[in-house]
Amino acid sequence: MDLDFWWLLVIPVAFALGWMASRYDLKALLSESANLPRSYFRGLNFLLNEQPDKAIDAFIEVAKLDPETVELHFALGNLFRRRGETDRAIRVHQNLLSRADLPANERDHALYELGQDFLKAGMLDRAEETFGTLKSGDYAQGAQRALLTIYEIEKDWNRSIETARQLETMGAPPLGLEIAQFHCELAQEALQRKNPEEARRQLGLALKANPQNVRATILAGDVDAASGDAQSALMQWKRVEPQNPAYLPLVAEKVMKAYDTLGRAPEGAQLLTEWVDRHSQNDLLDVAYKYVAELNGPDAAHTLARTQMQKSPNLAGMTRLLEAQQAVAEEPRRSELELMRKLIQQRTKNLPRYTCQNCGFRARLFYWQCPGCSGWETYAPRRVEPIPASS
């Protein structure tokens, strides 16, 4: 009975304490709300009524009236930057930085956002200077990533490598793929300056950073070819197949020119035919078809095109098959085949050839770095077929 009696006392006491706590929270909430400027509620009302421009003006007034609203300053600055009003975003973040009482972490945050404003505005030198001050703290790694973006835009590949290495020491995921591409860019520049020794050194560093980097293998062949060593160039380009056969179209023409230089063009055409047989790709078929027709005649080219169409039917292959049939046909069938071939070519000639697997950016040329999202090795070297219209 005594236990039941105590429970009867505990329940109303707990209820009373809860009621008092809720009353206290309610009073505190009402007190805080009373201290907020009317402009804050006007801004919320504008947002609810889908009037963002008026809401922004109201929140700016709040920020002016109550300089303690740090988070509101950050929200406004980010909003201005997203809308492309980078000058207003810069002023908001500079206004924050001018405050002597701003905590260290908030100061770093304001510096980081100001750097992003400068970057968005294309003021790369000021962005680099701002990000360079963030060497430690919560925003240091983000600042280093922004610096890496700046150096890539400026094509300062040595500093890109240095920054990528710094990022790895700060705990970022491995950047071997990107570092290898930076070394390839330096090798490309050395090749253009006719400095094969430096080009080879950079390519060695690229493969050390990423042994699967196909571009370094292709460039190594280019260096040998530029030095007049067609045989060594061939050996390099043939290594592309075991590395990644998807990139064979990028070396097909190079391989044929090397074989032709060595006086072994038929051997080159045979190799391309074998590549096409093992890896059905339209770009490979285009190159192989041209040389097979030239060296072995229209019948051999027709056999090649027909075999590939049976294995992998597509419009690009159909164009080659019709071209092969036209070469051996007689009138009036030749004219009919020509008409069909032109119709298919008209359907496919304006197709973008490559699509970025990250952002979907389409281009007629192959890029190692996407012009849209700046990602490296995001393009697969294969042509895009048209998507049939839904009925």
Which residues does the annotation place in the binding site?
A: 356, 359, 370, 373
Q: Residue 99 in contact with residue 71, Cβ under 8 Å?
A: no
Give the residue ranges of the annotated binding site for Fe cation: 356, 359, 370, 373
DSSP string for residues in 326-370? HHH--TTHHHHHHHHHHHHHHHHTT--SEEBTTT--EESS--SB-
Q: Residue 181 in contact with residue 376, Cβ under 8 Å?
A: yes
Q: Residue 386 in contact with residue 348, Cβ under 8 Å?
A: yes
Distance of CA 370 to the CA centre of its chain: 5
Q: Residue 79 in contact with residue 56, Cβ under 8 Å?
A: yes
DSSP string for residues in 123-163? -HHHHHHHHHT--SSTTHHHHHHHHHHHHHHTT-HHHHHHH
DSSP 227: T
**Ramachandran category for residue 50: left, alpha or beta (phi over 0 → left; psi -120 to 50 → alpha):** left
Kindly calculate the radius of gyration of the chain based on its CA atoms and give it in whole angstroms. 33
